[in-house]
Amino acid sequence: MPTDDETQQRRLTGIGVSPGRASGPVVAMPDPVAEPLAGATLAPEADLDQAAERIATAALSAQTDLEQAAARASGAAREVLETTAMMAADPTLVAAAQQLVRETRLVPARAVWQAAAGVIAQLAALGGYMAERTRDVADVRDRVVAALTGQAPPGVPHSDHPFVLVAADLSPADTATLDPDRVVALVTRDGGTTSHTAILARALGIPAVVGVAGATTVPPGTLVLVDGAAGTVTLDPTAEQVAQAAALAARVRTFDGAGRTSDGHRVPLLANVGRPDGAQAAADAGAEGVGLFRTEFCFLDRTDAPTIPEQVAQYRQVLAAFSGTKVVVRTLDAGADKPLPFLMTAAEPNPALGVRGYRTSWRNPEVLEDQLTAIAQAAQAETADVWVMAPMIATVPETTAFVERCHAHGLATAGVMVEVPSAALSAGQILRHAAFASIGTNDLTQYAMAADRMLGELAPLSTAWQPAVLQLVAATCQGGVQNDRPVGVCGEAAADPALAVVLVGLGVATLSMTARALPDVAAVLGSVTLATCRELAALATGADSAEAAREAVRSRLPVLDELGL
CATH number at 462 reads 3.20.20.60
For the cut 90, the answer to whether the pLDDT of residue 404 exceeds it is yes
Residue pair 231/15 in contact (Cβ under 8 Å)? The answer is: yes
pLDDT tens-digit map of 177-194: 778 888 999 999 887 766
pLDDT at 3: 45
| Choice between 173 and 401, residue whose per-residue pLDDT is larger | 401
| Choice between 67 and 428, residue whose per-residue pLDDT is larger | 428
CA nearest 324: which of 281, 374, 277, 288?
Answer: 288
The catalytic residue among 298, 477, 490, 533 is 490
Residue pair 29/168 in contact (Cβ under 8 Å)? The answer is: yes
Per the domain annotation, does 255 fall within a domain? Answer: no
| Choice between 265 and 151, residue whose per-residue pLDDT is larger | 265
Per-residue pLDDT averaged across 242-263, rounded? 86
Same structural domain, 457 and 506: yes
CA nearest 93: which of 132, 35, 52?
Answer: 52
| Choice between 380 and 80, residue whose per-residue pLDDT is larger | 380
Going by pLDDT thresholds of 50, 70 and 90, the confidence category of residue 416 is very high
| Choice between 5 and 81, residue whose per-residue pLDDT is larger | 81
Please count the structural domains in the chain.
3
Going by pLDDT thresholds of 50, 70 and 90, the confidence category of residue 176 is low
Residue 125, burial from CB neighbour count under 10 angstroms (0-12, 13-18, 19+): exposed
Going by pLDDT thresholds of 50, 70 and 90, the confidence category of residue 89 is confident
Same structural domain, 171 and 131: no
Q: Which of 221, 250, 279 is the last residue before a domain boundary? A: 250
Per the domain annotation, does 256 fall within a domain? Answer: no
Q: What Cα–Cα distance (Å) separates residue 440 from each residue in 143, 258, 351, 429?
A: 38, 23, 18, 19
Span of 1-15, 292-306, 544-558 with lowest mean pLDDT:
1-15
pLDDT tens-digit map of 317-361: 999 999 999 999 999 987 665 666 667 666 667 777 888 889 988
Percent above pLDDT 90 for the chain: 56
Going by pLDDT thresholds of 50, 70 and 90, the confidence category of residue 444 is very high
Span of 277-286, 341-350, 438-447 with lowest mean pLDDT:
341-350
Determine the structural domain holding residue 464 and report its residue range: 269-563
Q: Which of 200, 223, 250 is the last residue before a domain boundary? A: 250
Same structural domain, 165 and 145: no
pLDDT at 2: 43
Identity of the amino acid at 52: A
For the cut 50, the answer to whether the pLDDT of residue 7 exceeds it is no
Per-residue pLDDT averaged across 216-244, rounded? 91
Quote helix, strand, coil % in the chain, to nearest 5.
Answer: 50, 15, 35
CA nearest 80: which of 146, 154, 176?
Answer: 176
Residue pair 25/134 in contact (Cβ under 8 Å)? The answer is: no
| Choice between 65 and 342, residue whose per-residue pLDDT is larger | 65
Q: Which helix (H) or strand (E) holds 163?
A: strand 163-167
Same structural domain, 375 and 298: yes
Instruction: Give the whole-angstrom CA distance, residue 336 versus residue 428.
Output: 28
Going by pLDDT thresholds of 50, 70 and 90, the confidence category of residue 413 is very high
For the cut 80, the answer to whether the pLDDT of residue 510 exceeds it is yes
- Main-chain phi, psi angles of 176, to 5 degrees: -65, -20
| Choice between 261 and 62, residue whose per-residue pLDDT is larger | 261
pTM value is: 0.75
For the cut 60, the answer to whether the pLDDT of residue 422 exceeds it is yes
pLDDT at 476: 98
Per the domain annotation, does 476 fall within a domain? Answer: yes
pLDDT tens-digit map of 93-131: 899 999 999 999 999 999 999 999 988 888 777 665 555
Instruction: Give the whole-angstrom CA distance, residue 403 versus residue 400.
Output: 5
Per-residue pLDDT averaged across 169-175, rounded? 69
Instruction: Give the whole-angstrom CA distance, residue 371 versus residue 409.
Output: 10
Average pLDDT, the chain: 88
In the annotation, is 196 catalytic?
yes
Strand pairing of 414-418 and 385-390? Answer: parallel
Q: Which of 149, 169, 203 is the last residue before a domain boundary? A: 149
Per-residue pLDDT averaged across 385-414, rounded? 97
Instruction: Give the whole-angstrom CA distance, residue 157 versus residue 479.
Output: 49
Same structural domain, 474 and 559: yes
pLDDT at 215: 92
Q: What is the CATH number of the domain that holds 171?
A: 3.50.30.10
241-247 long-range contacts (CB < 8 A, ≥24 apart) are 241/23, 242/23, 244/21, 245/21, 245/22, 245/23, 245/564, 246/23
Going by pLDDT thresholds of 50, 70 and 90, the confidence category of residue 74 is low
Instruction: Give the whole-angstrom CA distance, residue 199 versus residue 291.
Output: 16
Same structural domain, 487 and 426: yes
CA nearest 429: which of 473, 391, 475?
Answer: 475
Same structural domain, 276 and 223: no
Residue pair 559/526 in contact (Cβ under 8 Å)? The answer is: no
For the cut 70, the answer to whether the pLDDT of residue 372 exceeds it is yes
Span of 162-171, 351-360, 411-420, 535-544 with lowest mean pLDDT:
351-360
DSSP string, 454-519: T-GGGTTTS-TTSHHHHHHHHHHHHHHHHHT--EEE-SGGGGSHHHHHHHHHHT--EEEE-GGGHH
pLDDT at 303: 67
Q: What is the CATH number of the domain that holds 124?
A: 1.10.274.10
Per the domain annotation, does 259 fall within a domain? Answer: no
Per the domain annotation, does 517 fall within a domain? Answer: yes
Same structural domain, 475 and 328: yes
Residue 385, burial from CB neighbour count under 10 angstroms (0-12, 13-18, 19+): middle
Q: What Cα–Cα distance (Å) separates residue 135 from each residue in 84, 138, 425?
A: 9, 5, 42
For the cut 80, the answer to whether the pLDDT of residue 438 exceeds it is yes
Same structural domain, 178 and 309: no
Per the domain annotation, does 264 fall within a domain? Answer: no
pLDDT at 1: 40
CA nearest 395: which of 416, 421, 373, 422?
Answer: 422
pLDDT at 157: 86
Same structural domain, 143 and 161: no
Q: Is the dihedral of CA 213, 217, 221, 223 positive or negative?
A: negative
DSSP string, 176-223: HT--TTTEEEEEESS--TTSHHHHHHHHHT--EEES-TTGGGSPTT-E
Per the domain annotation, does 261 fall within a domain? Answer: no
Same structural domain, 244 and 346: no
Q: What Cα–Cα distance (Å) separates residue 196 from each residue in 66, 429, 502?
A: 24, 33, 24
Q: What angle do CA 267, 193, 469 make, to 5 degrees?
A: 60
Helix (H, G, I), strand (E, B) or coil at 411: coil
For the cut 80, the answer to whether the pLDDT of residue 251 exceeds it is no
Same structural domain, 163 and 139: no
pLDDT at 9: 46
pLDDT at 124: 73
Per-residue pLDDT averaged across 20-43, rounded? 89
Per-residue pLDDT averaged across 197-224, rounded? 86
Question: How far is Cα of residue 65 from the mean position of the Cα atoms in its chain?
Answer: 27
Per the domain annotation, does 136 fall within a domain? Answer: yes
359-362 long-range contacts (CB < 8 A, ≥24 apart) are 359/335, 359/392, 360/332, 360/334, 360/335
For the cut 60, the answer to whether the pLDDT of residue 6 exceeds it is no
Per-residue pLDDT averaged across 447-457, rounded? 81
CA nearest 522: which of 271, 258, 204, 250?
Answer: 258
Going by pLDDT thresholds of 50, 70 and 90, the confidence category of residue 561 is confident
